[in-house]
Amino acid sequence: MPEPKTVTFPPAFLWGAATSAYQIEGAVREDGRTPSIWDTFSRTPGATADGDTGDIAVDHYHRYRDDVAMMAELGLNAYRFSVSWPRVQPTGRGPAAQAGLDFYRRLVDELLSHGIKPSVTLYHWDLPQELEDAGGWPERETALRFAEYAQLVGEALGDRVDQWTTLNEPWCSAFLGYGSGVHAPGRTEPLAALRAAHHLNLAHGLGTQALRSVLPAGASVAVSLNSQVIRPLSQHPADLAAARRIDDLACGVFHGPILHGAYPASLLEATSSVTDWSYVLDGDLRAVRQPLDALGLNYYTTALVSSPDTAPEGPRADGHGSSAHSPWPGSEDVAFHQAPGDRTEMGWTIDPGGLHELIMRYTREAPGVPLYVTENGAAYPDKVDDDGRVRDPERIAYLHGHLAAIHRANADGADVRGYYLWSLMDNFEWAYGYAKRFGAVYVDYATLARTPKSSAHWYGRAARTGQLPPVNAV
C-alpha cells in the first residue's frame, strides 16, 4: 500500500534523539568517576579501532548546555540519555556520588528549561569495573547491585523525570560482551553469555521494582530491547529450524521472561549442551516479569539465516563484528547470509519493512503496552563540504523510510508514541572507535565543533511540523 503524500503523526508524538554516557561524556576521571568495563576494554590492544577510547569522547560532560541548546534549536522535544553507573556509584556499591548525580540534575534541568522531555536509561553497557572483577553479569550479585543503583538514581531524578528505561540492548551486553567478545568486557564464554542474559533479565525486574518504590505515581518504566528480525533463507525445514534457533537467542531469551514469564522451551532445548539453566532460581521469573508501562525497541537491520549446509564463505555475516567466537551459544553452526539491498557503512541492509514487522510483533506479544522506537539510525561516511555544510541525503532517505514504516504500523493497529534517532551526534562507536558516524550532528574530533548535518535539519522540520518532509526538502 503506497504511503500517503503527507505522513502526519499525532500531536503528542515524541521526536527525540538518543545518546549514551560512555559514547559522549568524556571526563572519565572527573568528580569521582571510576573505570567502567569500557574504560578497561578500550585500553586492551586490538579491542577498538585505532585504540580509540571514550576518555574525551565528544566532551558532553562540559558542553551539555550547548548540546541542549542545539537540540532545542533543531526542534526536538525529547532526549534519551543514559546515566553512567560508575559516575554516580563509583564502585557499583554503597552510597551515591553526589557530584555525579549533580551532573544529571543539571542536564535534566537544562532540558526542561528548553521544553525537552528527558528520558533516562539506567544502563547502557558501562558496568563498573569493580563489579566485573567480581564476576560481572554472569553473577547474580550484579543484578542485586543494579537494583540498588536504580533506586539511587530514581531518588535523585524522580522529581523531574517521568520516563525511565532499565536496560538498553541487554542482548549486546550478554552475547557480545561475554560470547563473541567484541564488546566489553571481551570474554568469550558461551555459558557466561547465557548466565549474563538471565541476570540482566533479573536486573530489569529488580530494577523496575526499585524504581517504582521511589518514583511518583504515573512515572513510566520500560526496557529497550534490540530484538531482531530473523528471516530464513528458504522455506526448507532445515532453514526454518535455523531461524527459530536464532530467533530464540535474539528475541525469545528476553521476550520470554520479560513478557511471558518463562524462557521458551525450544531455547532451553537448543542450549542444553551449554547449560542446564540451574542458575534460574525459584522466584526469578516472577521478579523478571514486571508490568511494563512502555516498551522500547531498537532497530537497524534484519538477519538472513540458514542451516549449516548452505553456509557462505568468509566470516559470519551476522552484523555484530568480527570474531572467531560466536555470540550464538548452542547455535554456532547456523549460517548467516548478507541480505540483498542497499547498505549503510556498517554493512547493514536497509529494510524499513523490518521495523514495521518488529513493531507488529511487539504489538502482538505485549498488547496494550505503548511502544517507543528508542534507537534507529544509520552510519555513513559524512564529510564537511567546502561551504561548511554536511550533506547526508542517504540518511534522510533512511529516516524517511523508517518513520513512514512507524506511521504504517500505527495505521495497522500499533501504538508507537515516539522515535529517538540514533544518534544526536557523532561519537565513540564502541569497538569501531571514531570510524563510524551515526550522528545527525557532525563532530570534528580535532576541535569538537558541532555542525548539524542536512539530516538534522530535515528531522527538525519533521519534529516541528509533525509531518515527514519530502526527502529532497533540505
Catalytic-labelled residue, pool 132, 169, 394, 429: 169
Separation in Å, CA 177 to CA 46, 188, 301: 15, 8, 20
Unique residue bearing C-alpha cell 534523539: 17
> Left if phi > 0, otherwise alpha if psi is -120 to 50, otherwise beta: which for 236?
beta
Asked if 375 is an active-site residue, the reply is: yes
Asked if 169 is an active-site residue, the reply is: yes
Q: How many CA atoms lie within 13 A of 129 on its CB side?
A: 13
Catalytic-labelled residue, pool 110, 132, 139, 375: 375
The grid cell for 203 is 536486573
**Secondary structure in 3-state letters for the chain:** CCCCCCCECCCCCEEEEECCHHHHCCCCCCCCCCCEHHHHHHCCCCCCHHHCCCCCCCCHHHHHHHHHHHHHHHCCCEEEEECCHHHHCCCCCCCCCHHHHHHHHHHHHHHHHCCCEEEEEEECCCCEHHHHHCCCCCCHHHHHHHHHHHHHHHHHHCCCCCEEEEEECHHHHHHHCCCCCCCCCCCCCHHHHHHHHHHHHHHHHHHHHHHHHHCCCCCEEEEEECCCEEEECCCCHHHHHHHHHHHHHHHHHHHHHHHHCCCCHHHHHHCCCCCCCCCCCCCHHHHHCCCCCCEEEECCCEEEEECHHHCCCCCCCCCCCCCCCCCCCCCCCCEEECCCCCECCCCCECCHHHHHHHHHHHHHHCCCCCEEEEEECCCCCCCCCCCCCCCCHHHHHHHHHHHHHHHHHHHCCCCEEEEEEECCECCCCHHHCCCCCCCCEEECCCCCCEEECHHHHHHHHHHHHCECCCCCCC
Query: Distance between CA atoms of 23 and 335, rounded to whole angstroms?
Result: 32
The residues that are catalytic are 169, 375
